[in-house]
Amino acid sequence: MKQIGLITIGQAPRSDVAPIIEQYLKGQAELVQAGVLDGFSAEQVREFFGPQPGEYVLTTRMADGSAAVISRERIVSVLQRKMDAMEAAGITTILLACTGVFPGLHTARAHLIEPDRIIPPVVHAMLGGRRLGLIGPLPEQEESMRDKFAASAGSIPFAAASPYTGTESDFRAAAERLRGAADVIVLDCMGYVEQHRQWAASAGVPAVLSNALMGKLIAEMV
Number of C-beta neighbours around residue 138 at 10 A: 17
- Asked whether the beta carbons of 164 and 209 are under 8 A apart, the reply is no
Q: Poorest-confidence range of 39-43, 151-155, 167-171?
A: 151-155
Q: What one-character DSSP code corresponds to residue 92?
A: -
pLDDT, position 64? 96
130-159 per-position pLDDT tens digit: 999 999 999 999 999 999 998 655 689 999
pLDDT, position 152? 52
72-107 per-position pLDDT tens digit: 999 999 999 999 999 999 999 999 999 999 999 999
- Asked whether the beta carbons of 148 and 176 are under 8 A apart, the reply is no
Helix (H, G, I), strand (E, B) or coil at 6: strand
pLDDT band at 220 (very low <50, low <70, confident <90, very high): confident
Phi, psi dihedrals of residue 66, rounded to the nearest 5°: -75, 165
pLDDT, position 191? 97
Q: What one-character DSSP code corresponds to residue 56?
A: P
The answer on pLDDT for 111 being more than 80 is: yes
Phi, psi dihedrals of residue 173, rounded to the nearest 5°: -70, -40
Q: What is the 3-state secondary structure (H, E, C) of 152-220?
A: CCCCCCEEECCCCCCCHHHHHHHHHHHECCECEEEECCCCCCHHHHHHHHHHCCCEEEHHHHHHHHHHC
For helices 72-88 and 42-49, give the axis angle rounded to 10 degrees. Answer: 110
Average pLDDT over residues 176-180: 95
Q: What one-character DSSP code corresponds to residue 94?
A: E
Distant-in-sequence, close-in-space partners of 175: CB < 8 Å, separation ≥ 6:
135, 159, 185, 199, 200, 201, 202, 203, 205, 207
Percent of the chain with pLDDT over 70: 98
